[in-house]
Amino acid sequence: MNYTAKNLHTQVLLLIILFISTLFVSCSREEKDLPAGYQTVVAADGISFNMVYVPGGKTFPTGLLDSGTATLQNGYWLGETEVTYEVWNKVYTWAVANGYSFDHPGVQGYNSGFTNNQHMVTTICWRDAIVWCNALTEWYNAMIGSDLECVYTYSGAIIRSSNSTCDSAVAGTTAKGFRLPTSREWELAARWRNDSTNTVAGYSNPWYTKGDSASGATAVYTDPAATDPVAWYSSNSSSATHEVKLKAPNSLGIYDMSGNIQELCFTLSGSTVNERGGSWNLSGRLQVGDDTVYIATTTTDNSLGMRIAWSPKIN
């Protein structure tokens, strides 16, 4: 069928309306009828990205040895991919013009020729990441007229600058805006599996990938036959990042949960924050159970980036 420009415009509007109705109508029914891996589109001002639903009410294993457990009561949405430079730069440019300030402008991946904006943003710090999440929320409101609330505040004020106040940020547990996932939210999504291959005993439907493996992998991370199909890491990356969605997704349809870049989480320990997932220049940190790595809130690196989350309530 040949579509007119008007029809195409209508389709885009319908996608936007679908996203808003999914977020706000389904919130009232607590999203209990949404299946794991359900996807919705966030679209505005010429860009779009997908988000994937992760159901709540799940107790799952944690840690490299699968010796711990965690329970997340609330369902949440997680980015299908890490934040690409295309999306980062669109929001960053708007934010700087509207009173925001960042310590770092972000870079298109690493050693990638800097021509492909589908590489993820790197060379940002955690402070930049939470400020950008607030900016994304306000940018989205400005673009489509929604009324999402910024998640991160300090002394009741929205944080719009990557300064030391970020280190005392409060995450509004019911603020309906874009944010970083918590470390446990990241881990649940990374471990989720729809079959019993390479999973922790005692769990089923869903099953959970063993803590010593990459997300979606069929065996331990040291097995290239299992890890190469799902992750870019030190053995196969050619010392560079790669554009998103070139490796196989995990069971939820989420890409690059292990490898490509390390992902910042909103999980604080003093003046440090948790990062997850490994990257193009690492191998051991690919393990979905590795929750041991904490970095300063000001640390920036060419292997460090972010993935966003959204939910009615933060776990």
Contact 266, 179 (CB under 8 A): yes
Within a domain: residue 315? no
- Give residue 175's domain range: 5-310
Within a domain: residue 219? yes
Within a domain: residue 173? yes
Give pTM, 2 decimals: 0.91
pLDDT in tens, 232-285: 999 999 999 999 999 999 999 999 999 999 999 999 998 899 999 999 999 999
Q: Which two tokens stand for residue 61?
A: 């294993």
pLDDT in tens, 149-188: 999 999 999 999 999 999 999 999 999 999 999 999 999 9
Is residue 114 very low, low, confident or very high in pLDDT (cuts 50, 70, 90)? Answer: low
Q: Which region among 98-112, 113-127, 132-146, 150-164 has the lowest average model confidence (pLDDT)? A: 113-127
Within a domain: residue 112? yes
Within a domain: residue 109? yes
What is the C-alpha to C-alpha distance for residues 215 and 187, in angstroms, rounded to an integer? 9
CATH of the domain at 253: 3.90.1580.10
The number of distinct structural domains making up the chain is: 1
C-alpha Rg value of the chain to the nearest Å: 19
pLDDT at 66: 98
Within a domain: residue 296? yes
3-class DSSP state for residue 160? coil
Q: Where are the beta strands (DSSP E) in the chain?
A: 39-44, 47-54, 58-62, 68-72, 76-79, 107-108, 121-122, 152-154, 157-158, 170-171, 192-193, 207-208, 262-269, 272-276, 294-296, 304-305, 309-310
